A and B are shown apart, each in its own frame.
Chain A
Amino acid sequence: MAFVEVPHPLGMISLQEIRARADEAFPKIVQMATQWKPALTAIRKITPAYPAERIRFKGTYEALNKMFYDKGWSIGLPVIPPTPEKVAEMLKGTNRKPNEIVWAVPPKMGQLTVELVAAYGVMAGCKPEHMPLLLAVVKALSSTDYDWRGSSTTTAPTNPIIMINGPILDELGIGYSTGALGGEMPVNISVGYFINLVGDIIGGSVPPENDKSTLGSRGDLVAVVIGENEKLNPWKQSYAVEQGFKPTDNVVTAFSAYMGSNNVDHTSVKGVELLNTLAAGLAGAASGISSCLTQFDKGYAVTNRVKFAFLFLGPEHADTIYKDFPTKKSVSEYLVKKTVLPFWMYGPDLCKPGKDFGPYDSNSLIPRFTGPEQVRFIVTGGPGKQSQIWPTFTTVTKPVSVLVEK
Protein backbone atom coordinates (compact mmCIF):
# COMPACT_ATOMS: atom_id res chain seq x y z
CA MET A 1 0.00 0.00 0.00
CA ALA A 2 1.19 3.51 -0.75
CA PHE A 3 1.22 6.18 1.91
CA VAL A 4 1.57 9.93 1.81
CA GLU A 5 2.36 11.19 5.26
CA VAL A 6 0.70 14.36 6.49
CA PRO A 7 2.10 15.53 9.84
CA HIS A 8 -0.07 14.85 12.89
CA PRO A 9 -2.44 16.36 13.96
CA LEU A 10 -5.17 17.40 11.58
CA GLY A 11 -7.50 18.22 14.46
CA MET A 12 -7.27 21.38 16.59
CA ILE A 13 -5.44 23.39 13.93
CA SER A 14 -6.65 26.31 11.83
CA LEU A 15 -8.06 26.06 8.32
CA GLN A 16 -4.99 27.90 7.05
CA GLU A 17 -2.70 25.27 8.51
CA ILE A 18 -4.83 22.50 7.01
CA ARG A 19 -4.68 24.21 3.61
CA ALA A 20 -0.90 24.47 3.83
CA ARG A 21 -0.63 20.76 4.60
CA ALA A 22 -3.03 19.92 1.79
CA ASP A 23 -1.00 22.02 -0.67
CA GLU A 24 2.15 20.22 0.39
CA ALA A 25 0.59 16.75 0.25
CA PHE A 26 -1.25 17.17 -3.03
CA PRO A 27 1.57 16.53 -5.53
CA LYS A 28 2.70 13.52 -3.52
CA ILE A 29 -0.85 12.08 -3.52
CA VAL A 30 -1.09 12.51 -7.29
CA GLN A 31 2.28 10.88 -7.71
CA MET A 32 1.32 7.94 -5.53
CA ALA A 33 -2.08 7.53 -7.16
CA THR A 34 -0.66 7.42 -10.68
CA GLN A 35 2.88 6.09 -10.43
CA TRP A 36 3.23 3.88 -7.36
CA LYS A 37 3.90 0.24 -8.12
CA PRO A 38 3.56 -2.40 -5.43
CA ALA A 39 6.45 -4.68 -4.57
CA LEU A 40 5.79 -8.39 -4.23
CA THR A 41 5.54 -9.36 -0.59
CA ALA A 42 5.76 -12.81 0.83
CA ILE A 43 2.54 -14.26 2.19
CA ARG A 44 3.03 -15.46 5.74
CA LYS A 45 2.68 -19.16 6.25
CA ILE A 46 -0.53 -20.04 8.05
CA THR A 47 0.09 -22.22 11.06
CA PRO A 48 -2.49 -23.93 13.21
CA ALA A 49 -3.71 -22.05 16.28
CA TYR A 50 -3.87 -25.23 18.37
CA PRO A 51 -2.24 -26.63 20.39
CA ALA A 52 -0.21 -23.93 22.08
CA GLU A 53 3.47 -24.72 22.31
CA ARG A 54 4.73 -26.10 25.61
CA ILE A 55 8.01 -24.73 26.85
CA ARG A 56 10.17 -25.88 29.73
CA PHE A 57 11.28 -23.39 32.36
CA LYS A 58 13.71 -23.66 35.25
CA GLY A 59 14.17 -20.84 37.74
CA THR A 60 12.28 -18.93 40.40
CA TYR A 61 8.65 -17.82 40.09
CA GLU A 62 9.97 -14.28 40.04
CA ALA A 63 12.18 -15.16 37.06
CA LEU A 64 9.24 -16.88 35.37
CA ASN A 65 7.13 -13.76 35.69
CA LYS A 66 10.01 -11.65 34.42
CA MET A 67 10.39 -13.94 31.42
CA PHE A 68 6.66 -13.67 30.68
CA TYR A 69 6.81 -9.89 30.88
CA ASP A 70 10.01 -9.63 28.84
CA LYS A 71 8.54 -11.81 26.12
CA GLY A 72 5.34 -9.74 26.03
CA TRP A 73 3.27 -12.58 27.53
CA SER A 74 2.01 -10.54 30.48
CA ILE A 75 1.13 -6.92 31.12
CA GLY A 76 2.94 -6.03 34.31
CA LEU A 77 1.08 -7.79 37.10
CA PRO A 78 2.25 -11.25 38.21
CA VAL A 79 0.63 -14.21 36.51
CA ILE A 80 0.04 -17.78 37.64
CA PRO A 81 2.09 -20.07 35.37
CA PRO A 82 -0.19 -21.72 32.80
CA THR A 83 1.11 -25.25 33.22
CA PRO A 84 -0.47 -27.96 31.04
CA GLU A 85 -1.97 -29.47 34.20
CA LYS A 86 -3.65 -26.24 35.31
CA VAL A 87 -4.89 -25.50 31.80
CA ALA A 88 -6.31 -29.02 31.52
CA GLU A 89 -8.09 -28.47 34.82
CA MET A 90 -9.54 -25.18 33.56
CA LEU A 91 -10.77 -26.89 30.41
CA LYS A 92 -12.89 -29.18 32.56
CA GLY A 93 -15.06 -26.12 33.18
CA THR A 94 -16.47 -26.20 29.64
CA ASN A 95 -17.69 -28.68 27.05
CA ARG A 96 -16.25 -26.59 24.24
CA LYS A 97 -13.41 -28.15 22.27
CA PRO A 98 -9.98 -26.70 23.11
CA ASN A 99 -9.14 -26.17 19.43
CA GLU A 100 -12.22 -24.07 18.75
CA ILE A 101 -11.35 -20.51 17.73
CA VAL A 102 -13.66 -18.17 19.62
CA TRP A 103 -12.29 -14.80 18.52
CA ALA A 104 -9.76 -13.32 16.12
CA VAL A 105 -8.75 -10.50 18.44
CA PRO A 106 -8.07 -7.10 16.81
CA PRO A 107 -5.90 -5.29 16.02
CA LYS A 108 -3.43 -8.09 15.24
CA MET A 109 -6.17 -10.68 14.78
CA GLY A 110 -4.63 -13.25 17.09
CA GLN A 111 -6.66 -16.44 17.08
CA LEU A 112 -8.02 -17.05 20.54
CA THR A 113 -8.74 -20.73 21.05
CA VAL A 114 -10.70 -22.24 23.93
CA GLU A 115 -7.36 -23.67 25.11
CA LEU A 116 -5.92 -20.15 25.27
CA VAL A 117 -9.02 -18.87 27.09
CA ALA A 118 -8.23 -21.51 29.71
CA ALA A 119 -4.53 -20.55 29.73
CA TYR A 120 -5.31 -16.87 30.27
CA GLY A 121 -7.91 -17.80 32.85
CA VAL A 122 -5.17 -19.64 34.77
CA MET A 123 -2.77 -16.73 34.38
CA ALA A 124 -5.35 -14.27 35.71
CA GLY A 125 -6.31 -16.40 38.71
CA CYS A 126 -9.64 -17.74 37.45
CA LYS A 127 -11.04 -21.15 38.37
CA PRO A 128 -12.48 -23.91 36.15
CA GLU A 129 -16.03 -22.93 37.15
CA HIS A 130 -15.37 -19.49 35.61
CA MET A 131 -14.89 -20.89 32.10
CA PRO A 132 -18.53 -20.37 30.94
CA LEU A 133 -18.34 -16.79 32.20
CA LEU A 134 -15.01 -16.18 30.43
CA LEU A 135 -16.40 -17.58 27.17
CA ALA A 136 -19.50 -15.38 27.46
CA VAL A 137 -17.28 -12.35 28.08
CA VAL A 138 -15.27 -13.21 24.97
CA LYS A 139 -18.46 -13.59 22.93
CA ALA A 140 -19.71 -10.16 24.02
CA LEU A 141 -16.37 -8.41 23.43
CA SER A 142 -16.02 -9.97 19.97
CA SER A 143 -19.32 -8.50 18.77
CA THR A 144 -18.95 -5.82 16.09
CA ASP A 145 -21.31 -3.70 18.19
CA TYR A 146 -18.69 -3.62 20.95
CA ASP A 147 -15.97 -2.33 18.57
CA TRP A 148 -12.92 -3.84 20.25
CA ARG A 149 -10.66 -2.64 17.44
CA GLY A 150 -11.56 1.01 17.91
CA SER A 151 -11.58 0.76 21.69
CA SER A 152 -8.19 -0.89 21.95
CA THR A 153 -6.30 1.32 19.51
CA THR A 154 -7.68 4.78 20.23
CA THR A 155 -5.86 7.61 21.99
CA ALA A 156 -8.78 7.67 24.45
CA PRO A 157 -8.57 5.91 27.83
CA THR A 158 -11.27 3.33 27.14
CA ASN A 159 -12.39 0.81 29.71
CA PRO A 160 -14.00 -2.51 28.90
CA ILE A 161 -17.09 -2.68 31.10
CA ILE A 162 -18.65 -6.04 31.97
CA MET A 163 -21.94 -6.11 33.87
CA ILE A 164 -23.29 -9.42 35.10
CA ASN A 165 -26.83 -10.49 35.98
CA GLY A 166 -28.38 -13.71 37.21
CA PRO A 167 -27.94 -16.49 39.76
CA ILE A 168 -24.31 -16.82 38.69
CA LEU A 169 -23.56 -13.77 40.85
CA ASP A 170 -23.98 -15.72 44.07
CA GLU A 171 -22.90 -19.04 42.60
CA LEU A 172 -19.46 -17.70 41.69
CA GLY A 173 -19.17 -15.00 44.36
CA ILE A 174 -19.12 -12.11 41.90
CA GLY A 175 -19.02 -8.74 43.65
CA TYR A 176 -22.16 -6.65 43.40
CA SER A 177 -22.47 -5.09 46.86
CA THR A 178 -20.17 -2.93 48.99
CA GLY A 179 -16.94 -2.10 47.15
CA ALA A 180 -17.85 -4.24 44.14
CA LEU A 181 -15.42 -2.37 41.90
CA GLY A 182 -12.62 -2.37 44.42
CA GLY A 183 -10.33 -4.95 46.00
CA GLU A 184 -11.20 -8.20 47.74
CA MET A 185 -13.38 -9.17 44.79
CA PRO A 186 -11.27 -12.02 43.35
CA VAL A 187 -13.70 -13.07 40.62
CA ASN A 188 -14.32 -9.54 39.36
CA ILE A 189 -10.60 -8.78 39.39
CA SER A 190 -9.51 -12.06 37.79
CA VAL A 191 -12.05 -11.75 34.98
CA GLY A 192 -11.05 -8.12 34.45
CA TYR A 193 -7.37 -9.08 34.34
CA PHE A 194 -8.16 -11.93 31.92
CA ILE A 195 -9.77 -9.44 29.51
CA ASN A 196 -6.70 -7.25 29.31
CA LEU A 197 -4.28 -10.16 29.07
CA VAL A 198 -6.25 -11.40 26.05
CA GLY A 199 -6.54 -7.93 24.54
CA ASP A 200 -2.86 -7.09 24.89
CA ILE A 201 -1.19 -10.42 24.20
CA ILE A 202 -3.57 -12.08 21.73
CA GLY A 203 -4.85 -8.86 20.20
CA GLY A 204 -1.61 -6.93 20.41
CA SER A 205 -3.09 -3.69 21.72
CA VAL A 206 0.11 -2.80 23.50
CA PRO A 207 1.24 0.80 23.94
CA PRO A 208 2.65 2.50 21.99
CA GLU A 209 2.52 0.32 18.87
CA ASN A 210 -1.19 -0.46 18.69
CA ASP A 211 -2.71 0.91 21.87
CA LYS A 212 -2.35 4.64 21.24
CA SER A 213 -3.95 5.75 24.49
CA THR A 214 -2.54 9.17 25.35
CA LEU A 215 -2.56 8.59 29.11
CA GLY A 216 -4.14 5.15 29.43
CA SER A 217 -6.30 4.13 32.35
CA ARG A 218 -6.49 1.47 35.02
CA GLY A 219 -9.10 -0.16 32.83
CA ASP A 220 -6.23 -1.08 30.51
CA LEU A 221 -4.86 -3.30 33.26
CA VAL A 222 -7.92 -4.75 34.98
CA ALA A 223 -11.18 -4.21 33.14
CA VAL A 224 -14.30 -3.10 35.00
CA VAL A 225 -16.35 -6.17 35.99
CA ILE A 226 -19.39 -5.69 38.20
CA GLY A 227 -22.57 -7.50 39.12
CA GLU A 228 -25.94 -5.84 39.47
CA ASN A 229 -27.31 -5.77 43.01
CA GLU A 230 -30.61 -7.29 41.93
CA LYS A 231 -31.77 -7.81 45.52
CA LEU A 232 -31.67 -4.08 46.28
CA ASN A 233 -33.07 -2.91 42.94
CA PRO A 234 -36.26 -1.08 43.92
CA TRP A 235 -37.70 -1.38 40.40
CA LYS A 236 -37.50 -5.20 40.72
CA GLN A 237 -36.34 -5.35 37.14
CA SER A 238 -32.68 -6.04 36.43
CA TYR A 239 -30.91 -4.71 33.37
CA ALA A 240 -30.89 -8.19 31.81
CA VAL A 241 -34.64 -8.60 32.31
CA GLU A 242 -35.15 -5.13 30.83
CA GLN A 243 -33.29 -6.43 27.76
CA GLY A 244 -35.67 -9.40 27.41
CA PHE A 245 -33.83 -12.10 29.38
CA LYS A 246 -35.42 -14.19 32.13
CA PRO A 247 -34.58 -13.52 35.80
CA THR A 248 -33.04 -16.98 35.96
CA ASP A 249 -30.76 -16.33 32.99
CA ASN A 250 -27.09 -15.61 33.57
CA VAL A 251 -26.23 -12.66 31.36
CA VAL A 252 -23.07 -10.74 30.54
CA THR A 253 -23.38 -7.21 29.15
CA ALA A 254 -20.34 -5.49 27.68
CA PHE A 255 -19.67 -2.02 26.40
CA SER A 256 -16.69 0.26 26.01
CA ALA A 257 -16.56 3.43 28.07
CA TYR A 258 -14.49 6.48 28.74
CA MET A 259 -13.36 7.07 32.33
CA GLY A 260 -16.19 6.99 34.82
CA SER A 261 -16.96 9.78 37.25
CA ASN A 262 -18.61 9.74 40.65
CA ASN A 263 -21.78 11.38 41.91
CA VAL A 264 -21.66 12.06 45.65
CA ASP A 265 -25.07 13.33 46.68
CA HIS A 266 -25.76 13.29 50.42
CA THR A 267 -28.34 16.07 50.38
CA SER A 268 -31.04 15.38 47.82
CA VAL A 269 -34.21 14.16 49.47
CA LYS A 270 -36.41 13.87 46.43
CA GLY A 271 -35.76 11.75 43.37
CA VAL A 272 -35.98 14.82 41.15
CA GLU A 273 -33.24 16.55 43.11
CA LEU A 274 -30.92 13.58 42.85
CA LEU A 275 -31.58 13.13 39.14
CA ASN A 276 -30.72 16.79 38.64
CA THR A 277 -27.26 16.31 40.15
CA LEU A 278 -26.79 13.13 38.15
CA ALA A 279 -27.78 15.07 35.01
CA ALA A 280 -25.04 17.59 35.82
CA GLY A 281 -22.51 14.77 35.84
CA LEU A 282 -23.92 13.28 32.66
CA ALA A 283 -23.79 16.63 30.91
CA GLY A 284 -20.07 16.97 31.61
CA ALA A 285 -19.12 13.33 31.02
CA ALA A 286 -16.68 12.75 28.14
CA SER A 287 -16.39 16.49 27.59
CA GLY A 288 -14.71 17.72 24.45
CA ILE A 289 -15.90 14.88 22.26
CA SER A 290 -19.61 14.74 23.04
CA SER A 291 -22.17 15.87 20.49
CA CYS A 292 -25.60 17.33 21.13
CA LEU A 293 -28.92 15.69 20.26
CA THR A 294 -27.29 12.33 19.63
CA GLN A 295 -29.37 9.39 18.43
CA PHE A 296 -28.82 5.83 19.60
CA ASP A 297 -29.53 4.19 16.24
CA LYS A 298 -27.67 6.71 14.13
CA GLY A 299 -24.14 5.76 13.05
CA TYR A 300 -20.88 7.29 14.08
CA ALA A 301 -20.41 10.89 12.94
CA VAL A 302 -18.89 14.09 14.26
CA THR A 303 -22.38 15.17 15.28
CA ASN A 304 -23.38 11.83 16.85
CA ARG A 305 -20.75 11.06 19.46
CA VAL A 306 -21.06 9.52 22.91
CA LYS A 307 -24.55 8.38 22.14
CA PHE A 308 -25.29 6.61 25.41
CA ALA A 309 -24.13 6.41 28.99
CA PHE A 310 -24.56 4.00 31.87
CA LEU A 311 -25.22 4.92 35.47
CA PHE A 312 -24.19 2.61 38.29
CA LEU A 313 -26.71 3.69 40.91
CA GLY A 314 -25.90 2.93 44.53
CA PRO A 315 -28.89 1.21 46.21
CA GLU A 316 -29.62 4.17 48.48
CA HIS A 317 -29.60 6.56 45.53
CA ALA A 318 -31.85 4.13 43.66
CA ASP A 319 -34.33 4.14 46.56
CA THR A 320 -34.42 7.94 46.58
CA ILE A 321 -35.08 8.07 42.84
CA TYR A 322 -37.66 5.28 42.96
CA LYS A 323 -39.88 7.33 45.27
CA ASP A 324 -40.59 9.80 42.46
CA PHE A 325 -39.91 7.61 39.44
CA PRO A 326 -41.61 4.23 39.72
CA THR A 327 -40.49 3.03 36.28
CA LYS A 328 -36.99 2.78 34.88
CA LYS A 329 -38.10 4.40 31.65
CA SER A 330 -39.33 7.47 33.51
CA VAL A 331 -35.86 7.85 35.08
CA SER A 332 -34.15 7.71 31.69
CA GLU A 333 -36.67 10.10 30.12
CA TYR A 334 -36.14 12.66 32.87
CA LEU A 335 -32.35 12.43 32.57
CA VAL A 336 -32.48 12.80 28.78
CA LYS A 337 -34.56 15.96 29.25
CA LYS A 338 -32.28 17.43 31.92
CA THR A 339 -28.87 16.51 30.52
CA VAL A 340 -28.20 19.76 28.72
CA LEU A 341 -25.32 22.08 28.00
CA PRO A 342 -25.36 25.62 26.68
CA PHE A 343 -24.43 25.62 23.00
CA TRP A 344 -21.14 27.39 23.68
CA MET A 345 -19.89 24.53 25.84
CA TYR A 346 -20.00 21.98 23.04
CA GLY A 347 -16.84 21.51 20.98
CA PRO A 348 -16.63 23.28 17.62
CA ASP A 349 -18.70 21.48 14.96
CA LEU A 350 -19.92 18.83 17.40
CA CYS A 351 -23.33 20.39 17.96
CA LYS A 352 -25.39 21.26 14.91
CA PRO A 353 -29.10 21.32 15.82
CA GLY A 354 -31.36 20.81 12.80
CA LYS A 355 -34.14 23.10 11.67
CA ASP A 356 -36.69 21.18 13.72
CA PHE A 357 -34.88 22.25 16.90
CA GLY A 358 -35.87 25.85 16.27
CA PRO A 359 -33.86 29.01 16.78
CA TYR A 360 -30.96 28.96 19.20
CA ASP A 361 -28.03 31.09 20.25
CA SER A 362 -24.78 30.44 22.08
CA ASN A 363 -26.53 30.38 25.47
CA SER A 364 -29.37 28.06 24.44
CA LEU A 365 -29.53 24.86 26.47
CA ILE A 366 -29.25 21.91 24.13
CA PRO A 367 -29.71 18.27 25.25
CA ARG A 368 -27.00 15.71 24.67
CA PHE A 369 -29.41 12.84 24.10
CA THR A 370 -32.76 12.38 22.39
CA GLY A 371 -34.15 9.05 23.62
CA PRO A 372 -34.46 7.11 26.89
CA GLU A 373 -32.48 4.15 25.51
CA GLN A 374 -29.41 6.42 25.64
CA VAL A 375 -29.33 6.71 29.42
CA ARG A 376 -29.28 3.26 31.01
CA PHE A 377 -28.54 2.15 34.53
CA ILE A 378 -28.02 -0.72 36.92
CA VAL A 379 -28.29 -0.78 40.69
CA THR A 380 -25.04 -1.90 42.26
CA GLY A 381 -22.83 -1.47 45.27
CA GLY A 382 -23.67 -1.24 48.95
CA PRO A 383 -24.74 1.35 51.53
CA GLY A 384 -23.79 4.98 50.97
CA LYS A 385 -24.76 7.96 48.85
CA GLN A 386 -22.67 7.30 45.78
CA SER A 387 -23.30 6.51 42.14
CA GLN A 388 -21.10 6.40 39.04
CA ILE A 389 -21.44 7.68 35.50
CA TRP A 390 -19.81 5.83 32.60
CA PRO A 391 -20.07 7.56 29.20
CA THR A 392 -19.69 5.28 26.24
CA PHE A 393 -16.73 5.26 23.89
CA THR A 394 -17.64 7.51 21.02
CA THR A 395 -17.73 5.17 18.03
CA VAL A 396 -20.23 2.57 16.92
CA THR A 397 -20.18 0.79 20.27
CA LYS A 398 -23.47 -0.43 21.73
CA PRO A 399 -24.14 -2.51 24.83
CA VAL A 400 -23.92 -6.21 23.96
CA SER A 401 -25.75 -8.73 26.16
CA VAL A 402 -25.14 -12.47 25.86
CA LEU A 403 -26.17 -15.54 27.81
CA VAL A 404 -23.64 -17.41 29.90
CA GLU A 405 -23.95 -20.91 28.49
CA LYS A 406 -22.90 -23.70 30.82
Chain B
Amino acid sequence: MQKHGIKVLLTGLIAACFLIISAFALCQEVNAAGQVELKVLDPRAELMSTPAAPINPRLKTLEGKKIGILNNTKPGADYFQPVLMQALKETYPTIEFRVWNISYNDYPNKANELKELAAWSDGVIGLLGD
Protein backbone atom coordinates (compact mmCIF):
# COMPACT_ATOMS: atom_id res chain seq x y z
CA MET B 1 0.00 0.00 0.00
CA GLN B 2 2.83 2.34 1.04
CA LYS B 3 4.74 1.30 -2.09
CA HIS B 4 1.74 2.10 -4.23
CA GLY B 5 1.44 5.54 -2.60
CA ILE B 6 5.10 6.38 -3.38
CA LYS B 7 4.53 5.30 -6.98
CA VAL B 8 1.51 7.57 -7.31
CA LEU B 9 3.46 10.44 -5.71
CA LEU B 10 6.41 9.99 -8.08
CA THR B 11 4.09 9.83 -11.09
CA GLY B 12 2.39 12.99 -9.91
CA LEU B 13 5.72 14.76 -9.44
CA ILE B 14 6.92 13.77 -12.92
CA ALA B 15 3.63 14.95 -14.44
CA ALA B 16 3.87 18.27 -12.58
CA CYS B 17 7.47 18.79 -13.74
CA PHE B 18 6.39 18.03 -17.30
CA LEU B 19 3.59 20.59 -17.10
CA ILE B 20 5.89 23.27 -15.63
CA ILE B 21 8.54 22.66 -18.29
CA SER B 22 5.90 22.75 -21.04
CA ALA B 23 4.43 25.98 -19.72
CA PHE B 24 7.89 27.54 -19.49
CA ALA B 25 8.66 26.46 -23.05
CA LEU B 26 5.39 27.94 -24.24
CA CYS B 27 6.30 31.26 -22.65
CA GLN B 28 9.67 31.39 -24.36
CA GLU B 29 9.17 29.76 -27.70
CA VAL B 30 6.92 30.31 -30.63
CA ASN B 31 4.03 27.86 -30.40
CA ALA B 32 2.22 26.21 -33.25
CA ALA B 33 0.04 29.27 -33.85
CA GLY B 34 3.07 31.56 -34.14
CA GLN B 35 2.33 33.06 -30.76
CA VAL B 36 5.03 34.26 -28.43
CA GLU B 37 4.87 35.36 -24.86
CA LEU B 38 7.71 37.50 -23.72
CA LYS B 39 8.68 40.52 -21.75
CA VAL B 40 9.96 43.57 -23.60
CA LEU B 41 11.32 46.90 -22.47
CA ASP B 42 9.13 49.93 -22.91
CA PRO B 43 11.59 51.98 -24.97
CA ARG B 44 10.15 55.37 -24.15
CA ALA B 45 12.34 57.75 -22.18
CA GLU B 46 11.44 60.03 -19.37
CA LEU B 47 11.46 63.63 -20.55
CA MET B 48 13.93 65.99 -18.94
CA SER B 49 12.19 68.54 -16.77
CA THR B 50 13.73 71.93 -16.34
CA PRO B 51 13.46 73.56 -12.92
CA ALA B 52 10.33 75.61 -12.46
CA ALA B 53 10.96 79.34 -12.86
CA PRO B 54 8.54 82.18 -12.28
CA ILE B 55 7.28 83.98 -15.36
CA ASN B 56 8.53 87.54 -15.64
CA PRO B 57 6.01 90.22 -14.71
CA ARG B 58 4.33 91.81 -17.71
CA LEU B 59 5.20 95.37 -18.67
CA LYS B 60 2.36 97.79 -17.97
CA THR B 61 3.40 99.90 -20.94
CA LEU B 62 6.16 99.96 -23.53
CA GLU B 63 6.63 103.73 -23.09
CA GLY B 64 10.21 104.54 -22.14
CA LYS B 65 11.17 100.85 -22.00
CA LYS B 66 14.29 99.18 -23.35
CA ILE B 67 13.15 96.48 -25.73
CA GLY B 68 15.63 93.87 -26.89
CA ILE B 69 14.95 92.42 -30.32
CA LEU B 70 16.09 88.81 -30.68
CA ASN B 71 16.24 88.17 -34.41
CA ASN B 72 16.62 84.49 -35.33
CA THR B 73 18.36 85.51 -38.60
CA LYS B 74 16.01 83.57 -40.87
CA PRO B 75 14.44 85.09 -43.99
CA GLY B 76 11.54 87.41 -43.33
CA ALA B 77 12.67 88.44 -39.85
CA ASP B 78 14.87 91.12 -41.41
CA TYR B 79 11.86 92.54 -43.24
CA PHE B 80 9.54 92.29 -40.29
CA GLN B 81 11.99 93.88 -37.85
CA PRO B 82 12.12 97.48 -39.17
CA VAL B 83 8.37 97.52 -39.74
CA LEU B 84 7.69 96.35 -36.20
CA MET B 85 10.22 98.76 -34.69
CA GLN B 86 8.85 101.68 -36.66
CA ALA B 87 5.28 100.90 -35.64
CA LEU B 88 6.24 100.60 -31.98
CA LYS B 89 8.25 103.83 -32.13
CA GLU B 90 5.27 105.69 -33.59
CA THR B 91 3.03 104.43 -30.78
CA TYR B 92 5.62 104.75 -28.00
CA PRO B 93 8.03 107.55 -29.01
CA THR B 94 10.35 107.05 -26.01
CA ILE B 95 10.82 103.32 -26.55
CA GLU B 96 14.44 102.21 -26.98
CA PHE B 97 15.67 99.25 -29.03
CA ARG B 98 18.74 97.08 -29.30
CA VAL B 99 18.97 94.17 -31.70
CA TRP B 100 20.67 90.80 -31.20
CA ASN B 101 20.94 88.58 -34.27
CA ILE B 102 21.27 85.04 -32.94
CA SER B 103 19.99 81.83 -34.46
CA TYR B 104 18.16 79.64 -31.95
CA ASN B 105 20.49 76.86 -33.08
CA ASP B 106 23.37 78.94 -31.87
CA TYR B 107 22.02 79.61 -28.36
CA PRO B 108 24.37 77.12 -26.69
CA ASN B 109 27.34 78.99 -28.17
CA LYS B 110 26.00 82.47 -27.48
CA ALA B 111 25.26 82.31 -23.76
CA ASN B 112 27.11 85.58 -23.06
CA GLU B 113 25.19 87.50 -25.72
CA LEU B 114 21.90 86.14 -24.40
CA LYS B 115 22.84 87.19 -20.85
CA GLU B 116 23.69 90.64 -22.17
CA LEU B 117 20.31 90.80 -23.89
CA ALA B 118 18.52 89.79 -20.69
CA ALA B 119 20.50 92.28 -18.60
CA TRP B 120 19.90 95.25 -20.90
CA SER B 121 16.24 94.69 -21.76
CA ASP B 122 13.07 95.56 -19.90
CA GLY B 123 11.30 93.31 -22.37
CA VAL B 124 12.29 91.13 -25.31
CA ILE B 125 10.60 90.55 -28.65
CA GLY B 126 11.66 87.40 -30.43
CA LEU B 127 11.51 87.59 -34.22
CA LEU B 128 11.15 84.14 -35.73
CA GLY B 129 11.42 84.56 -39.46
CA ASP B 130 11.42 81.67 -41.90
Contact = CB atoms under 8 A, between A and B. Distances in A.
B59 A57 contact: no
Contacts of B60: 34
B87 A302 contact: no
Nearest to A60: B34
A48 B47 CA distance: 9
A401 interface: no
Contact of A81 (B38, B58, B79, B130): B38
B121 to A, nearest CB: 12
A35 B60 CA distance: 7
A312 interface: no
B45 A49 contact: yes
A184 interface: no
Contacts of B41: 52-55, 82-84, 87, 115-116, 119
A64 B34 CA distance: 12
A146 B47 CA distance: 21
B96 to A, nearest CB: 15
Contacts of A110: 44-48
A64 B36 contact: yes
B11 interface: no
B103 A56 contact: no
A46 interface: yes
Nearest to A201: B43
A183 B130 CA distance: 37
Contacts of B47: 44, 108-111
Contacts of B80: 10, 18, 21-22
B119 interface: no
Interface string A70-102: 000100000001111001000000000000000
Interface stretch (A25-33, A219-227, A238-246, A357-365): A25-33
Contact of A10 (B42, B77, B104): B77
A272 to B, nearest CB: 37
A266 interface: no
A30 B62 contact: yes
B36 A60 contact: yes
A100 B38 CA distance: 26
10 contacts: A22-B80, A26-B88, A33-B123, A56-B37, A57-B39, A73-B42, A115-B41, A201-B45, A299-B110, A301-B73
Report, as a range, how many residues of chain A touch the other chain: 35 or more
A18 B55 CA distance: 31
Contacts of B108: 144
B48 to A, nearest CB: 4
Interface string B94-110: 00000001111110111
B105 A150 contact: yes
Interface in B13-40: 30, 33-40
B39 A34 contact: no
B39 A111 contact: no
Given A60-B35, A119-B43, 7 more contacts: A11-B129, A26-B88, A34-B61, A52-B42, A54-B39, A61-B36, A83-B39
Interface string B42-69: 1111111100100100111110000000
Contacts of A56: 37-39
Contacts of A345: none
A104 interface: yes
B40 A55 contact: yes
Interface in A115-139: 115-116, 119-120, 123
Nearest to B63: A34
B7 interface: no
Nearest to A13: B76
Contact of A105 (B42, B45, B78): B45
A396 B109 contact: yes
A29 B84 contact: yes
A140 B97 CA distance: 39
Contacts of B5: none
A34 B58 contact: yes
B35 A300 contact: no
B6 interface: no
Contact of A116 (B37, B45, B83): B45
Given A53-B42, A396-B109, A15 B58 contact: no
A301 B87 contact: no
Contacts of A82: 40-41, 43
B44 A201 contact: yes
A83 B79 CA distance: 54
Contacts of B39: 54-57, 83-84
Given A55-B39, A57-B38, A64-B36, A18 B79 contact: yes
